[in-house]
Amino acid sequence: MSVIADDATQSMSRRELMTLVGKVAGTAAMYQMMSSLALAANSTFDKRFSLSGAPKGASVLILGAGLAGMVAAYELQKAGYKVQILEYNNRTGGRNWSLYGGDTYTELGGITQHVQFDKGLYLNPGPWRLPYNHQGILHYCQMLGVKLESFNQANYAAYIHSQNAFGGKPQRYRTVKADFEGAVAELLSKSLQQSQLDQAVTKEDREILLQALRNWGALDQNYRYVKGRASSSRRGFDHWPGGGLDGEPTYSEPVALSDILKSGLWGEIAANDGIPEQPTLFQPVGGMGVIGRKFGELLKNVIRLNSKVVEIKQDETGVTATYVDTVKGGPPQTARGDWCVCTIPASILSQIPMNVSPAMQQAIYAIPYGASCKVGLQMKRRFWEEDEDIYGGITYTDQMNAIIAYPNTDYFSKGKGVLLGAYTFGPNASIFTSMTPQERINAAVQMGANIHPQYRTEFETGVAVAWHRVPWTLGCQGTWSEDARATHYKNICQIDGRIVLAGEHVSMIPAWQEGAVTSSIDAITRLHQRITKG
């Protein structure tokens, strides 16, 4: 089904398009559209990558100890360069970040949150998944000895929820998916049987396609999607099969296609079909921030933390960064290298004086950063498992909190657990950002209770990170428009004098850590070639 005509999209901005898709098809469809527009597909990472033969004494100054900066430092150091990193935060990793009990976080505006999660529980405010085909980040996980476990993206037992459909009652993902696909399969099989597709399908293929549709859509012998064993085996039974006298199943009644279409819930069932969302996905044991922490430990001798860069100046022989110590204070200090790899987000870099070409400066100015907010909620017990048989995965809702994600670890444990109670984008994220952290938490609890009434008695504590209030990024990720990318992307990738930029915003897969990794490798490869060729 085409939501928007092609000629209409030509006059729409990317922001307008995503907003319209979100209104028509739901938050998951909007997220899928974002991924598609970001070209979030296979990685270009080559495991055989290696640099060598740095000129004696050559040095590189790296700005930012996120993944792009640390990948650059690690590989350049292996090649023989002297490297040093300046990092604004008191930790390494950048957006590769986990918040644990005992941590504090102060957002723009001065509000400090004191994380009160129990030991072993955490929230990943930034990235939370590692797709199987993002070979760059997976390579460095292996190199660092980061233990990975499965991340369950799709859970057919989780919910799809609309405030205006089915009386506001959440529907199991499996029932909406089964009923939509079953009804579509029935419609198509009728068209085949009535010879309405003769020009598109040969007679031989028609017979095969009919059987395929019957299998795909769980149709009966007469190619109908109706109440029965076939449909119930997909959507679930009213009374599940069992043993003994109570073992006879009771079949469930499918929802009519018209009701599914009107509900808008069909917009969520493809949320897990994008390449980055396809199995298998992974997560680091103990939180995404384990990657950044281990990388930082490996490079601790070359990283200076709490160093806020306030000016970048290059000349014919090198690059000097002026910075201030955010903890000790004192007069500005300087660090210098023959060359510079700058991984500071464009949202921050645009505010730092830097003598680069007009083309590079305009490219930096051309990248707005997207709004996003995550809310982590600690519950007294894992009621989603105990009461509703949900183990990992995601529930989608058209409320402002957008999704509820269930922890993919410690299944069947009797202790507490942290739900991702909100993960918002776009206009809804801007609304969340305008709230105080406690208001965001309260809103996530209130909205979550419309799906899980247990929230009202089981919620204990929470933390909320709105990315436009994160001082060192002022946004979630670079959100290039198509026009801006066409005009400025090649310019931002260029080596400008002695400076080259890297990071997810200098990639075709923004918002993903793989974009940061592959951008960094591309940048240092070209920089190394420039240096060694003289």
Query: Six-digit token pair at 59?
Result: 């040095």
* Distance from C-alpha of 485 to C-alpha of 320, rounded to nearest angstrom: 29
Q: Do domains 59-89+290-368+480-532 and 99-157+280-287+370-469 have the same CATH topology?
A: no
For the chain, the C-alpha Rg in angstroms (whole number) is: 26
What is residue 26's predicted lDDT score, i.e. its pLDDT?
A: 52
Three-state secondary-structure class, residue 483: helix
Residue 297 Cα distances to 11, 93, 149, 294, angstroms: 49, 11, 22, 5
Question: Tell me: the pLDDT tens digits for 166-176?
Answer: 999 999 999 99
Question: Please, what CATH class does the domain formed by 99-157+280-287+370-469 belong to?
Answer: alpha beta
Of 375, 376, 357, the C-alpha closest to 365 is 357
- CATH number, domain 172-263: 1.20.1440.240
Query: Six-digit token pair at 478?
Result: 């670079």
Contact 291, 146 (CB under 8 A): yes
Question: Tell me: the pLDDT tens digits for 59-106?
Answer: 999 999 999 999 999 999 999 999 999 999 999 999 999 999 999 999
- CB atoms under 10 Å from CB of 374, counted, come to 27
pTM for the complete prediction? Answer: 0.90
What is residue 202's predicted lDDT score, i.e. its pLDDT?
A: 84
What is residue 39's predicted lDDT score, i.e. its pLDDT?
A: 47
- CATH number, domain 59-89+290-368+480-532: 3.50.50.60
Q: What is the DSSP secondary-structure string of 383-412?
A: HHHHTT---S-EEEESSTT-EEE--SSSTT
What is residue 42's predicted lDDT score, i.e. its pLDDT?
A: 67
* Distance from C-alpha of 308 to C-alpha of 63, rounded to nearest angstrom: 10
Question: Tell me: the pLDDT tens digits for 30-62?
Answer: 444 444 444 445 688 988 899 999 999 999 999
Query: Six-digit token pair at 416?
Result: 């507490």
What is residue 11's predicted lDDT score, i.e. its pLDDT?
A: 41
* Distance from C-alpha of 474 to C-alpha of 463, rounded to nearest angstrom: 18
Q: What is the DSSP secondary-structure string of 288-341?
A: THHHHHHHHHHTGGGEE-SEEEEEEEE-SS-EEEEEEETTT--S-EEEEESEEE
Q: What is the mean pLDDT of each run of 10 residues along the chain (534 residues)?
A: 33 44 50 45 82 97 98 98 98 98 97 98 98 96 98 96 96 96 92 79 87 93 94 93 92 94 90 88 98 98 98 98 97 98 98 98 97 98 98 97 97 96 96 98 98 98 98 96 96 98 96 96 98 89
- Domain positions in the chain are 59-89+290-368+480-532, 99-157+280-287+370-469, 172-263
What is residue 172's predicted lDDT score, i.e. its pLDDT?
A: 96
What is residue 12's predicted lDDT score, i.e. its pLDDT?
A: 42
Verify cis geometry, omega within 30 degrees of 0, for the bond prior to 280.
yes
* Distance from C-alpha of 182 to C-alpha of 266, rounded to nearest angstrom: 12
